[in-house]
Structure 1
Amino acid sequence: MIIACPTCATRYTLADSAVGPQGRKVRCAKCGHTWWQSPDEDDPEFSLNDVTEIRPTSAPTVEKPPRDRAALRRALAGWGLFVAVVLALAGGGYAARDQIVRLWPPAALLYETVGLRVEPPGTGLQLQNLRSEQKVEGGAPVLVVDGQIVNVSDTVRPVPVVRVTSLGEDRKPVRSWTVEASPAQLLPGEIAVFRDAQRDPGAVLEVMVTFDGG
């Protein structure tokens, strides 16, 4: 293609591939003027022979569009933040794996797959002094369940949620619910207590108390 400098009218011959389909910034080798050259802006007033006769010994400088350094920095910062979040989640998932498995039991299989041991809820703890009583309060039947959790291990243990299941005839479940004990963790030998009352419990013959997720 044939192009001409808009300032000094110096003309050049360039291969179409040097400009590209989107155009490109070029600079005149004679006067130093810079302009954006589109691929379809050929100079119709001169033939290839005319340009060849007056063409300077040097060709115009074709400049690449400047890189967006700010965008590059933002992209690198974004990847750095992503890596930091992944590492933080991985560290938190390792440290709190017992609590995660308690909230979502299928996670135990994932931890076992990567070789991490996960203790089931209630490890090192023992239920004791369990008691259930059916009575009438305010004219309505109420099922009261209470008990204790003791730390029988030699280390601090988190206290899991207690699951209570009422059983009717033929030991079929009537209702199931969870109860939180207090305090939330126990030193060796310490005891946590829980108590709950269910109104209108139905026909209950037996109550089963376990650690939730265990």
Structure 2
Amino acid sequence: MRIACPSCAAEYEVPDAALAAGPRMLRCARCSHQFEAALPSPPGAPAVPGPSPAAAPDQPPPEDSPPDRPPPSRGPRQSNPIDPPLQRLSDAPASPPDRMALAGWIMTVVVVGVGLYAGVTFRGEIMDAWPASARLYQALGLS
């Protein structure tokens, strides 16, 4: 379900399962505004009645009583029901080139190149030290 923050209009994709138990208090990741979100009621369904004004005392609740909050959820997905704001691909910044990966590839090519050069240049010494390699050099036409 797509939910928008009433304060800054940031949009979030919240799983329906996170709101299936009833309304929940959510906090916007962008502006930290707290607001209540619930699944929309189907058409023709009676509205969920809140606490009646006659039952609520005129005085605020004592300070030591906890505020009305939904029970804590379990699992990493439901502990923070708001995903980061959605971005279009055109708004996303381009990722910088990974210089370490490029350096790794260059070093790999250099090491393989040096190994091939040494294998061709010192093939006589290699065949003397390891006679089985003579078949490889012969197959490659380098003997």
Question: Which structure carries more strand by proportion?
Answer: 1
TM-score with structure 1 setting the length: 0.30
Q: Which has the higher contact order (CA 8 A, sep 6+)?
A: 2
Say which one has the larger Rg: 1
Question: Which structure carries more helix by proportion?
Answer: 2
